[in-house]
A and B are shown apart, each in its own frame.
Chain A
Amino acid sequence: DADVTQTPRNRITKTGKRIMLECSQTKGHDRMYWYRQDPGLGLRLIYYSFDVKDINKGEISDGYSVSRQAQAKFSLSLESAIPNQTALYFCATSDFGGLDTGELFFGEGSRLTVL
Chain B
Amino acid sequence: AQTVTQSQPEMSVQEAETVTLSCTYDTSESDYYLFWYKQPPSRQMILVIRQEAYKQQNATENRFSVNFQKAAKSFSLKISDSQLGDAAMYFCAFDFGNEKLTFGTGTRLTIIP
Task: Decide whether A and B are members of one complex.
Answer: yes
Contact in complex: A42, B101 (CB < 8 Å): no
Chain A interface SS verdict (over half): strand
Contact flag A102-B103 (CB < 8 Å), given A90-B45, A109-B43: no
**Is B29 interfacial (CB-CB < 8 Å)?**
no
Interface residues on A, range: 20 to 34
B99 touches A106 (CB 8 A): no
User: Taking A42-B104, A102-B35 as contacts, is the C-beta distance between A108 and B43 under 8 angstroms?
Assistant: yes
Q: Could you say which residues of chain A place their CB within 8 Å of the CB of B100? A: 33, 45, 48, 58
B56 located at the interface, meaning its Cβ lies under 8 Å from any Cβ of chain A in the complex = no
By size class, the interface of chain B is: 20 to 34
Q: Mark B12-43, 1 if CB is under 8 A from A, else 0.
A: 00000000000000000000010100000001
CA A106 to CA B95, docked complex, whole Å:
15
Hey, which chain B residues are within 8 Å of A55, CB to CB?
none
Q: Is B112 an interface residue (CB 8 A)?
A: no
**For residue A88, which residue of chain B has the nearest CB?**
B43
Which residues A8-25 have CB closer than 8 A to chain B? none
Question: In the complex, what residues of A have CB within 8 A of residue B62's CB?
Answer: none
Q: Is the C-beta of A82 less than 8 angstroms from some C-beta in chain B? A: no
